[in-house]
Amino acid sequence: MSNTKMTATERQTLAKLMKKAGDDGLIKVIRKEYDRQIQTKIYDAANHTVRVLFESKDEGNDVMTARDIAVLLQTDILAVREMTKSKAQKSSEHPIPFFKINGKMLRFSRPLIKAWLEELANEKPVFEGKKRRK
């Protein structure tokens, strides 16, 4: 099974499995960690073992969250938040474009992020050669 959101059946199946395993609080932790940006895959093998995979997934909206950016850049949310701090914005040649809603909720515009990534990709890399000892 594969969805951007867990179906009710998947949630029930996973809840039953976790109760059998003795850890019903795990469902709450998983929901909190992955929020609604989750892709689940539940496999039931012939020998009655179950494998559940959780993957973060970009929601695809024009207004992106820090989690969406983290998934896109293949990093963690903390790294994304660091990129938006004033010190990083001032010191970077290409600061990440972002805005805040009500001064708190960090958001990103998908078209601006695409342009920012394109700008980074088109920049010529600067390689510094090894310094030789005299």
The pLDDT of 101-108, averaged and rounded, is: 93
Are 115 and 72 part of one and the same domain? yes
Tell me if residue 38 falls in helix, strand or coil.
strand
Domain ranges, residue 31: 8-56
Q: Contact, 60 vs 22, CB < 8 A? A: no
What the block records as the tokens of 78 is: 């903390």
Residue ranges of alpha helices (H) inside 22-74 are: 26-34, 66-73
The number of domains in the chain is: 2
User: Distance (Å, rounded) from C-alpha 59 to C-alpha 43?
Assistant: 24
Are 75 and 118 part of one and the same domain? yes
Q: Comparing 13 with 60, which gets the higher pLDDT?
A: 60
Tell me if residue 108 falls in helix, strand or coil.
strand
**With bands split at pLDDT 50, 70 and 90, how would you rate the model's confidence at 111?**
very high
